[in-house]
Amino acid sequence: GPSWLQPPGTAATQSPRKVPRRPEPGVCGPAHWGYVLGGRDRGPDEYEKRYSGAFPPQLRAQMRDLARGMFVFGYDNYMAHAFPQDELNPIHCRGRGPDRGDPSNLNINDVLGNYSLTLVDALDTLAVMGNSSEFQKAVKLVINTVSFDKDSTVQVFEATIRVLGSLLSAHRIITDSKQPFGDMTIKDYDNELLYMAHDLAVRLLPAFENTKTGIPYPRVNLKTGVPPDTNNETCTAGAGSLLVEFGILSRLLGDSTFEWVARRAVKALWNLRSNDTGLLGNVVNIQTGHWVGKQSGLGAGLDSFYEYLLKSYILFGEKEDLEMFNAAYQSIQNYLRRGREACNEGEGDPPLYVNVNMFSGQLMNTWIDSLQAFFPGLQVLIGDVEDAICLHAFYYAIWKRYGALPERYNWQLQAPDVLFYPLRPELVESTYLLYQATKNPFYLHVGMDILQSLEKYTKVKCGYATLHHVIDKSTEDRMESFFLSETCKYLYLLFDEDNPVHKSGTRYMFTTEGHIVSVDEHLRELPWKEFFSEEGGQDQGGKSVHRPKPHELKVINSSSNCNRVPDERRYSLPLKSIYMRQIDQMVGLI
């Protein structure tokens, strides 16, 4: 079998990989990846001919318009056939809401809360594409028709990233004095989206109560709180990826409650990591702190936990977040990364990140899942571009083989383990960020391949449908909201060189749901820093302060208001630019 089956080495023979690496630019040649595609090796001439040349401006404009048209086709059909329900069934041209007849259908009910999910999730995509009239119309519809006073039991994580994040992103777009996307202001706007975000977050707060570890329950009923028969087990990503949205809300409101509970959950999970490896598992009991799922990897159950350690630092400037991320990244390199040290030289197979036991670092299985395709984009953000190039090439090779990314791919058997593709954005996201980092036209070709595959295999009568089977290309009647909020957005931005995201001079970051957030000093104001110490400490004046107890949260929350509390303390730690040195050579394909 490939070297990915072998442990990364013993402590006596192998020193930890230093990160981030900055070797000279290189390529992952086609021959290196022939194994992954079952020996379908091709000579370099084909790849040189297709990918190394420039991407003509006319073709780029054509692909940009195709990406916009893809969004418009999905969005218009949702509005015509599904609104005000949560999702569009694109094959039968009708709407979909929560499955009231089967509360155990978590695949649907975790996500759909009977709050016009697709419309809410798509708001900032309308703005990024410069459609001010539809953005203004959609915002007014959300304000006038969407309510969270619903008897819906939803997953805290999904409600946070899809709904809360979108409301906050749209609010900041409306209130941005520079208006870089065109006139996105709303006449007589009175912070309604911010009030709605606050209302939703308050309804999610019961998840953080009556938990012995501080790690939240996975689900809440928006009317009644935590269901009496709720599960005490939650995934690491679901419980530990709330800090960006909750932190933004807290800092806009001047109310520490939301950031405090989210940060407490992150710290609780972090303190449960293995003392030997530094790794975390993927499922934990929120009452006992016992790891129910001991798998450590980069995909489902853990992905956005790592992502939000870094992105929380970028937004809020808290050194502790960066320290946790750096430690986690080093453990990932030491125990999950297999293959040779460098992408383009040395013995063995190209690098790959595998799933291991969190305590021993031993291989647990031989599959990767499609969510892991986000990781090259995260590596771009920290400057580990060389490794990002190679890892991205692995996922793109799988896409090239099937015209989609199967939910799980077994790299030992060279075949999918789970065959569906629900229009996920992670590979597109990494492609976009790698293009921004390298300006290599190879990634425009990748984006074009993805666009054409989506048009060919997933477009149906009233939108774009989930692929049920990536081999026979059969479809399922579902278009998840992230297709409009992320997949279409990243494809559009990849080809829209002159978009304000790239030209306005404002630094932007994307949440894990692809919602755009400007990075500025206002989000680094922190008037309640003393609350985040474990045992209390001293404020700037040297006075003793204490950490609030769980029963004090309601007291803190009672002082909520929608006026940001002014504070002179600023955090101006420098951010690392994702615009790294240009990669001179083409990335080879599998």
Of 353, 367, 381, give the one whose Cα is nearest residue 20.
381
Of 348, 261, 347, 262, give the one whose Cα is nearest residue 308.
262
Q: Sign of dihedral through CA atoms 477, 481, 486, 492?
A: positive
Q: How many CA atoms lie within 13 A of 170 on its CB side?
A: 34
* The one-letter amino acid at 522: H
Catalytic residue list contains 426: yes
Of 124, 158, 318, 387, catalytic:
158
Give the span between the Cα atoms of 16 and 162, in whole angstroms: 37
Give the span between the Cα atoms of 544 and 412, in whole angstroms: 57
| Tokens standing for residue 5 | 């089956």
Assign 338 to helix, strand or coil. strand
Place of tokens 């001293």: 538
Give the span between the Cα atoms of 287 and 218, in whole angstroms: 12
Q: Sign of dihedral through CA atoms 450, 453, 457, 460?
A: positive
Give the span between the Cα atoms of 58 and 497, in whole angstroms: 12
Give the span between the Cα atoms of 226 and 129, in whole angstroms: 38
Catalytic residue list contains 24: no
* Radius of gyration over every alpha carbon of the chain, rounded to an integer in angstroms: 23
Assign 141 to helix, strand or coil. helix
Distance of CA 485 to the CA centre of its chain: 11
Q: In which element (H, E) is residue 426 found?
A: helix 426-438
Q: Sign of dihedral through CA atoms 564, 569, 570, 571?
A: negative
Catalytic residue list contains 525: no
The angle that helices 57-81 and 442-457 make with each other, rounded to 10 degrees, is: 40
Give the span between the Cα atoms of 254 and 256, in whole angstroms: 6
Of 86, 87, 110, 426, catalytic:
426
Give the span between the Cα atoms of 297 and 576, in whole angstroms: 25
Number of DSSP helices (H) and strands (E) in the chain, helices first: 22, 22
Spatial neighbors of 65 by CB under 8 A, at least 6 apart, are none
Annotated binding-site residue? 160: no
Give the span between the Cα atoms of 530 and 538, in whole angstroms: 7
Spatial neighbors of 69 by CB under 8 A, at least 6 apart, are none
Q: Tell me the longest C-alpha to C-alpha distance in the chain.
A: 70
Of 407, 429, 486, 513, catalytic:
407
Of 326, 295, 297, give the one whose Cα is nearest residue 310.
326
Of 241, 314, 325, give the one whose Cα is nearest residue 573.
314
Of 87, 121, 303, 307, catalytic:
303
Q: Sign of dihedral through CA atoms 170, 174, 176, 180?
A: positive
Catalytic residue list contains 303: yes
Of 293, 292, 286, 294, give the one whose Cα is nearest residue 335.
294
Give the span between the Cα atoms of 297 and 264, in whole angstroms: 23
Cβ burial, residue 493 (10 Å; 0-12/13-18/19+): buried
Which of the residues are catalytic?
158, 303, 407, 426
Known binding residues are 512
Known binding residues for Ca(2+) are 512
